[in-house]
Amino acid sequence: MIYKMENQPKYEVMIDKLAYGGDGFARLADGRAVFIPDVIPGEKVSIRIVEDKQKYARAAALEVLTASQVRIKPPCPHFGVCGGCQYQHIQYEAQVQLKKEILKDQLTRIGHLDSVAEIEVFSSDLPFGYRNVMQFHPLPDGKLGLMKRNSQAVFELTRCLLPMPAIAQFWQYLTLEADSGITRIEVRQNREEDLLVLLQGEGAELPEIAVDMPISMVHRVGNDTVVLSGDDAIVMTILDIPFHLSAGAFFQVNDCITEKMVQRLLDILARKKPRRVLDLYSGAGLFSRFMAPEVQQVTAIESNALACHDFVINLDDFDNVTLYEGLAEQVLPSLDIEADLVVCDPPRAGLHVKVIDTLAESGIPTLVYISCDPATLARDIRRLVEKGFIVENIAMFDMFPQTYHFESMVVLARL
């Protein structure tokens, strides 16, 4: 049941911890959990219930009665309205430690790990201005906006602190005509400050856009793509290696953290010395490209056609790489696996149970699990441990400062 705020009594609670998703976790007098946004562990806050369930409640903070020492004034005027950031009220160093605690909590509660190994933490060099890609949504008058928190509604944007400089400058000069048919605009930047803009919409008619900047711009409706200016791809550089990336294709959003993840993976390869590796959910070939010079054979599986196109370009110089296009749960069981190490970087849904079963039955000695969702990571680790794996080490990478999101890299080995 959802209540009107003014009809609800006030309560005072102590914030125990942060839950994955950004909300603070506390207990009501009746023992139920209550989730409150924009608070920090250790704070005493006055709240009102906004959603009352049988087993839990959601509330809004009315007043911070005892503030945390790591509380700061959010620098963005849209914080609290915009759905992009949840942690701007927390000092950056504290954000990273809180994410580490969230990862540990998920692995303990959901993963059923009796003891969680020490988690190595990799912070972002840039707490702001780190995103190499942003998604905007036009308002009816053509101005750009972002999604509101917990809503599909769009608000007019006046400032955003997350994108890299060229994106931050560009979006302010882009205005669409009213009723242009464009529903989403993706802007990606590389380190050379080249820009690739993808316009996505519902109508087939090409929009009229005038931009006085040298950029690449692509219009896409369904599977129909038209290059309006420049190219239909951009070159991203990671550790001095160029990657061809098509408009709309997935790539990690924080270059410096991506490099730290790649270096961590290379360190694992140097220690394990595999000859043959399996790269599941390989995307545009980021990890395969760095593993290929170090091993005898790389076998990759990717379901997205656009990513496969980029993968072929990015790995064209290597004769020891094989790519299968298809769903991992469909392709993997049909392969005669002979690999010493597998790297998997699945979407938020995690590993399909068929993938887990196949990996468990294959006898592969080492599994490197890269995850963007600690809940599904913990679930899958529990299943892998039940099938004979142990956790060797855990790392947390703060790919998304100011938000509740982060990346993890867990090394599992045969018991």
- Enumerate the known binding-site residues for S-adenosyl-L-methionine: 252, 281, 302, 345
From the list 80, 95, 108, 104, the residue with the least C-alpha distance to 41 is: 95
From the list 92, 91, 185, the residue with the least C-alpha distance to 136 is: 185
How many CB atoms within 10 Å of residue 318? 14
Whole-number Å distance between alpha carbons of 194 and 167 = 9
Side chain identity at residue 248, one-letter code: G
Side chain identity at residue 268, one-letter code: I
Q: Across the chain, how many H-helices and E-strands are there?
A: 8, 23
Does residue 344 carry a catalytic annotation?
no
The per-residue DSSP string of 204-271 comes to SSPPP----S--EEEEEETTEEEEEES-SEEEEEETTEEEEEETT----SBHHHHHHHHHHHHHHHHH
From the list 225, 333, 344, the residue with the least C-alpha distance to 278 is: 344
Which member of 82, 85, 344, 372 is catalytic? Answer: 372
The per-residue DSSP string of 168-212 comes to HHHGGG--PPTT-SEEEEEEEE-TT--EEEEEEES-SSPPP----
Strand partners, 241: 238
115: three-class secondary structure by DSSP = coil
2: three-class secondary structure by DSSP = strand
From the list 185, 141, 191, 149, the residue with the least C-alpha distance to 166 is: 191
The per-residue DSSP string of 343-379 comes to EE---TT---HHHHHHHHHHT-SEEEEEES-HHHHHH
**Gap between the terminal Cα atoms of the chain:** 48
Active site residues: 372
